[in-house]
């Protein structure tokens, strides 16, 4: 299968690749992998870009912003650099005017400035973030980007998609109630269903396999 091929799909088939619908009759597609909604969506033929194509185009224009951690670190480094530069110029001026030795004054000013610059910042930050990744790995969480550790630590609200994350996108039967009797199906999966529950559970039983007298054709 290559770009430009036409696919003929019938009921129950999986769409093997991204594309657009050219023609269809009562065509509905499960887009739970894309949107998280388990209800099938009705499709109409279009000549526009596919949904996956739209997402790809929108990602091209996305620019990655610096994390708050990096912004604060950059701000501190700039502040220390300005202070060191001012002190360096002050030492050079005072030493040169008082001692009449400008070479020694310049060397003293540069020494002071280099001593004040936070050269240990990269090492310290890398070690602390690595320790955070190591602690997360103990919780069976792998971190692809170090910046994610700082972002996760500063998060106060955590939003997730329910389908596939909090739920399995599968309906299940938990409890049955019939003739003033409760039956916890989830806890008694291995036990046989009581006789009084049989009539109530019929609508939930899987349908018998057989020929299908209608189908949806999509081209």
Q: Which residues are catalytic?
A: 161
DSSP 193: P
Q: Which residues contact 12 (CB under 8 A, 6 or more apart)?
A: none
The pairing of strands 41-42 and 28-29 is antiparallel
Give the burial class of 31: count Cβ atoms within 10 A of its Cβ; 0-12 exposed, 13-18 middle, 19 or more buried: middle
Asked whether the beta carbons of 105 and 96 are under 8 A apart, the reply is yes
Tokens 């936070």: give the residue. 118
The pair of three-digit structure tokens given for residue 185, joined into one six-digit string: 């199906």
Contact criterion met (CB below 8 Å) for 178 and 199: yes
């Amino acid at each position: 299968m290559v770009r430009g091929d036409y696919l003929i799909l019938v009921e129950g088939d999986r769409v093997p690749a991204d594309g657009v619908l050219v023609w269809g009759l009562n065509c509905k597609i499960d887009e739970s992998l894309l949107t998280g909604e388990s209800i099938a969506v009705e499709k109409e033929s279009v000549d526009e870009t596919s949904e996956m194509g739209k997402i790809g185009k929108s990602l091209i224009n996305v620019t990655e912003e610096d994390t708050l951690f990096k912004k604060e670190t950059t701000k501190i480094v700039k502040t220390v650099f300005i202070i060191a530069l001012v002190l360096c110029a002050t030492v050079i001026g005072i030493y040169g005017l008082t001692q009449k030795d400008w070479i020694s004054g310049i060397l003293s000013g540069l020494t002071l400035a280099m001593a004040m610059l936070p050269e240990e910042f990269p090492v310290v930050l890398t070690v602390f973030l690595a320790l955070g990744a190591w602690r997360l790995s103990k919780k069976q969480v792998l971190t692809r980007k170090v910046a994610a550790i700082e972002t996760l630590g500063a998060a106060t609200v955590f939003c997730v998609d329910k389908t596939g994350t909090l739920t399995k996108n599968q309906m299940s039967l938990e409890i049955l109630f019939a003739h003033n009797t409760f039956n916890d199906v989830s806890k008694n999966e291995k036990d046989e269903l009581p006789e009084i529950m049989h009539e109530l559970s019929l609508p939930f039983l899987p349908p018998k396999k057989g020929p299908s007298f209608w189908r949806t054709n999509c081209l």
